Amino acid sequence: MRIALGVTGCIAAYKAVEVLRGLQKQGATVQVVMSPHATEFVTPLTFRSISGLAVISDMWTPTEDPSIKHIEIAQSIDLLLVAPATANALAKFANGIADDFLSTLYISTSAPVLLAPAMNAEMWLHPATQENVRRLRERGVQFVDPGEGYLACRTVGPGRLAEPEDIVQRAVEIIETKQAMRSESKLEHLDLLEEHVLITAGPTYEAIDPVRGITNRSSGRMGYAVAEAALSRGARVTLVTGPVSIDPPASARVLRVQSAAQMYDAVMDSLGEATLVVMAAAVSDYRPAQVAGRKIKKDGNPLVIELEPTEDILSAVCRNGGSRIVIGFAAETDNLVVNASKKLAEKGADLIVANDVSAPDAGFDVSTNRIVLISNEGVQELPLLSKRAAADRILDEASRIKAARVHA
């Protein structure tokens, strides 16, 4: 892995040292590029000592190297990661301004770009910044959104640089996905060319009042990994996604929803074309029977909310399954195989993918998963895998089931 790490001028620049270390632990070669103002927070010597490479911070530094440096780096990297990315950097990137080495590198590279913004809360929430973020997302730029916390300006709010380990994890995921798609690009590996895969991902959100709701901890990473794997194997993909903070694969048809009812409608509307359905979303089982029109005020008394069942999307898909393969998911905290096997029988799915969400390395919002594949043919326990690798194993099993059905 070859990564260009851009560092721009804000107090969070010191955390880029941790990002650099994390990338190196993942086996990456990292070329650090600093904006001129970034050097006022952390010296280039710090990054040079750790990376082992000369840090670039000036477009016009005399050199004996005859190559055009920003073009050479732009063409050789697997990823351009900017952490931290200031509001000024976002504005430059969004508007095509190339007045220093980093902004020129951004506009010169065809590699994936990942930005980790950091700034004052008011700056992050300003309409100009949000518009720049929107424009960049539309162009395929990916983000590790800032978190909320205590900021350097002694206020609390959104704008805090994401944790270095989260930035590193996302960077590695992007590169691994790109490499996997590249390795799967040969025609003999495009085993899903004739398939239209319908995938659900993420949580749903059931409103209690205009500011509160019922949801769950699903990050959407597993469903998005299945979408990436299916696309790399030649399938057309429709991704119905609940509210998540990660970017979908660029080639997927994406339908964004909030509630279980909205997800049900989107799935049923898209079911006709689908030949394979993968129901990876964590759909709320219940919703408030009545949604308050105004914020419910705290008055010191217990609050009782009557809940009603939501739509059973998996059962509805199975009832209308026809010849398509239907795969459900079971997120459990105990009796994994027993509960998932019961779900297989009750829903009528072809395959249930079960995992223990209480496990720290295979639960919510991590990059790995330890799944169990349960079908009428038996139980297959898989080792700890990246979610992308697990996605391919799920699609392998779907292909096997389909082949067995054809030859039955």
As given in the structure block, the two tokens for residue 382 are 């898989």
The answer to whether residue 357 scores a pLDDT higher than 50 is: yes
**Residues 6 or more apart whose Cβ sits within 8 Å of residue 41:** 9, 10, 11, 13, 14
**pLDDT for position 159:** 80
**pLDDT for position 70:** 65
Rounded to whole angstroms, the Cα distance separating 61 from 51 reads: 20
**pLDDT for position 367:** 81
pLDDT digits (tens, 9 = 90+) for 226-279: 999 999 999 999 999 999 999 898 889 999 999 999 999 999 999 999 999 999
Segment 219-226 mean pLDDT: 95
pLDDT digits (tens, 9 = 90+) for 159-198: 889 999 999 999 998 888 877 666 554 444 688 988 999 9
Give 57's pLDDT tier (boundaries 50, 70, 90).
Answer: confident
Q: How far is CA 393 from CA 182, 380, 404, in A?
A: 18, 11, 17
Are 54 and 48 in contact by the 8 Å Cβ rule? The answer is: yes
pLDDT digits (tens, 9 = 90+) for 358-384: 888 777 778 889 999 999 999 999 988
As given in the structure block, the two tokens for residue 160 are 């805090």
Which residues sit opposite 157 in a β-bridge?
149
**pLDDT for position 292:** 95
The answer to whether residue 1 scores a pLDDT higher than 60 is: yes
**pLDDT for position 314:** 97
Catalytic residues: 153
